Structure 1
Amino acid sequence: MTSISNNILTILNTKIYPGESKEIDFDVANLHTSSPINVPIIIERAKKPGPIVLFTAGIHGDEVNGVEIVRQLIASGINKPKIGTVICIPVINIFGFINLKREFPDGRDLNRVFPGSVDGSLASRVAHKLIHDIVPCVDCVIDFHTGGSGRYNAPQIRISKENRHLNELAKAFAAPFVLYSKNLNKSFRNSCYKLGKPMLLFEGGKSFHIDENITNHGINGAKRILKHLGMLNVKFTASKPKKDTVFINESRWQRASISGMFRATIAISSHVKKGEVLGNITDPYGKLNHEVKASNSGYIINVNESPIVYQGDALFHITTKLKR
């Protein structure tokens, strides 16, 4: 269970006192070989009371860039706050991470089984433990993700509309883009919302890949959040973003009209005009060269980097309506 009383934080029956550092095992099940798996929860508490922030990554085992962001927060000491508490869980889906698989061994997507069940599937049990034994004590959550299936996401924060607190946190994080999107049923974000725990979902890069630019955006955003909450250690500074954040009300996927070999020629995060050439679809025989042209003006917030595409595959995610 999780509780905080007299400024003593109790997580999974372990007490963490002000000014203390603790590493707690978030264990749910052994491997099929009976080998134990210890998923560390790294907790840093300042002597002075303050907010409790949870940084998570690795809900999908193939999204290693999110894991790298949280790893660097820990390795550099950014997770050691001036006030309050920082909790880091770098790899939630350790079973998928071991094999670089998105899902759990039971075939389930962890981000579609929340809030989980104590006697459900393996993924459901992990979700239940996270929601019932960790999240209740925190004040906000920053969850790091990447694009999947070869699709490269521009660094962006995803939040639901009409939430002033989330808007303030998103502005503080200052990612290049903020995409307003609905909370998906049975997702980690939706379960946090129901518990009244604000979550920023960071998306950037793609699966099976560590990208220095994306990592830097995630780390800088985390520092800005901690500064916004008065928690950032005096050893660190939170840099101002080079450009203002673009808030996106609506967007659409542009899909391939034919199958073939695909190469994008436009850079991620670029602003394009309707009719501008974004890439080419060719065949292996040198007979076909189809230009993919922007169906509307907007920012490119996702690019499909797969070399082979089929008719109907998503190629680009383009903004259609910005917040004014």
Structure 2
Amino acid sequence: MNSPEQKIITILGETILPGESKTINMEIAKLHTMTPLKIPIIVERSKLDGPTVLLSAGLHGDEINGVEIVRQLITQKINKPKTGTIICIPVINVFGFINQKREFPDGRDLNRIFPGNKSGSLASRFAYHLLNEVLPHVDYAIDFHAGGASRFNVSQVRIAPNNSELKSLADVFHAPFALYSKNIAGSYRNACEKIGVKMLLFEGGKSIDLNEEVTRQGVEGSKRVLSHLGMLSDLQKIIIPDDETIYIKKSSWIRAKYSGMFHSITKVGSYIEKGQLLATISDPYGKIEHKVKSPNSGYIINVNEAPIVYQGDAIYHISNKLEE
């Protein structure tokens, strides 16, 4: 068995030794114009042995805020570990990022196609290479996401229920909220669990948008996790929020009962009482105005910021019961 000083990481045929920094370009396919498309994998290794952490974003190409979080982790040199290895993939779905679209060019959602297939669809091939080339080296992962379709998520981490180690990591990350949610078949998070990678999924903000507060919370939470693992440089400082993380086991969507212009008066992250007015939905002609009231007390963890909604659209995500 190799000693810690001899530990070797090889990704896509390129070896990164302890103390080395290297950017590896994953190239699975070209654009239809024959332009090469490379996905940078940024690896920073300490000379001292320790865990390997993967920080990734852009699994959905339109979720730009996560990309900004990983970018700041790199520019602030937070990704230079005191011990172990930090791997950053700021944009997993470069295809979608170019077009500001959620899916891959083949129309598939990468987050529903793991473990992938090396001879399958474009998205499936990429999932296969990520799972087989990068993740076998990884002990811990934080994957950054944002709400889709104009829906703004309060900063939160999501973890599988009945997993004490992930609960401890969520405590350390110290986001304003933490949601217990089962892993979805075909998801990146589910694939990580199956091979023993301990993942926190961070959600914050909305697609095609940058939010400074969400970015700060993502960066600071990552620093706290790296510090907990003994990997954060002594030059970096951590901040522990005064408020405790609010854990949510049960939640549901409030859906629009009418189509029309949507006027929300409810702030994401706020606590709402049963029957409280959340919004109004009106017609454009000044004749009709429908009130939207909360069906129960709870925290608002997602708000639809679209100006127009249709009957059945998800407009608020609310916790059903406050649980410790």
**Is the partner of 2:42 in helix, strand or coil?**
strand
Partners of 2:164 and 2:322 in 1: CA distance: 17
Q: Are 2:93 and 1:71 equivalent residues in the alignment?
A: no
Partners of 1:79 and 1:131 in 2: CA distance: 21
Tell me the CA shift for residue 288 of structure 1.
Answer: 1.6
Partners of 1:79 and 1:242 in 2: CA distance: 26
Tell me the CA shift for residue 33 of structure 1.
Answer: 0.9
Tell me the CA shift for residue 315 of structure 1.
Answer: 0.9
Partners of 1:199 and 1:63 in 2: CA distance: 18
Tell me the CA shift for residue 5 of structure 1.
Answer: 8.9
Partners of 1:89 and 1:258 in 2: CA distance: 41
Partners of 2:127 and 2:254 in 1: CA distance: 33
Q: 2:261 — aligned with what?
A: 261
One-letter amino acid matched to 1:22 = K
Q: Point out the more displaced range, 103-112 or 314-323.
A: 314-323
Q: Percent identity?
A: 57
Partners of 1:237 and 1:260 in 2: CA distance: 48
Q: Deviations over 1:164-214 (max 9, x none)?
A: 110011111111111000100000000001111111000000000011011
Tell me the CA shift for residue 242 of structure 1.
Answer: 3.3
Q: 2:237 — aligned with what?
A: 237
Tell me the CA shift for residue 291 of structure 1.
Answer: 1.7
Q: Are 2:27 and 1:34 equivalent residues in the alignment?
A: no
Say if 2:18 and 2:48, in contact at 8 Å, map to a contact too. Answer: yes
Q: Deviations over 1:235-255 (max 9, x none)?
A: 111101131100001001111
**Is the partner of 2:320 in helix, strand or coil?**
strand
Partners of 2:296 and 2:235 in 1: CA distance: 45
| Structure 1 runs of 4+ with >6 Å offset | none
**Is the partner of 2:213 in helix, strand or coil?**
helix
* Structure 1 unmatched runs, 5+: none
Tell me the CA shift for residue 321 of structure 1.
Answer: 2.0
Q: Point out the more displaced range, 17-26 or 118-127.
A: 17-26
Tell me the CA shift for residue 153 of structure 1.
Answer: 0.4
* Structure 2 unmatched runs, 5+: none
**Is the partner of 1:222 in helix, strand or coil?**
helix
Partners of 1:74 and 1:257 in 2: CA distance: 45
Partners of 2:193 and 2:122 in 1: CA distance: 23
Partners of 1:5 and 1:104 in 2: CA distance: 40
Partners of 1:204 and 1:49 in 2: CA distance: 32
Q: Deviations over 1:252-295 (max 9, x none)?
A: 11111111100210111000100111111111011122221111
Equivalenced residues, count: 321
One-letter amino acid matched to 1:177 = F
Tell me the CA shift for residue 17 of structure 1.
Answer: 1.2
Q: 2:53 — aligned with what?
A: 53
**Is the partner of 2:23 in helix, strand or coil?**
strand
One-letter amino acid matched to 1:147 = G
Tell me the CA shift for residue 56 of structure 1.
Answer: 0.6
Q: 1:140 — aligned with what?
A: 140
Tell me the CA shift for residue 6 of structure 1.
Answer: 2.6
One-letter amino acid matched to 2:69 = I
TM-score (norm 2): 0.97
**Is the partner of 1:134 in helix, strand or coil?**
helix
Q: Deviations over 1:129-150 (max 9, x none)?
A: 0000000111011000000000
One-letter amino acid matched to 1:188 = Y
**Is the partner of 1:234 in helix, strand or coil?**
coil
Matches within 5 A, 1:16-165: 16-165=16-165
CA-atom RMSD, angstroms?
A: 1.0
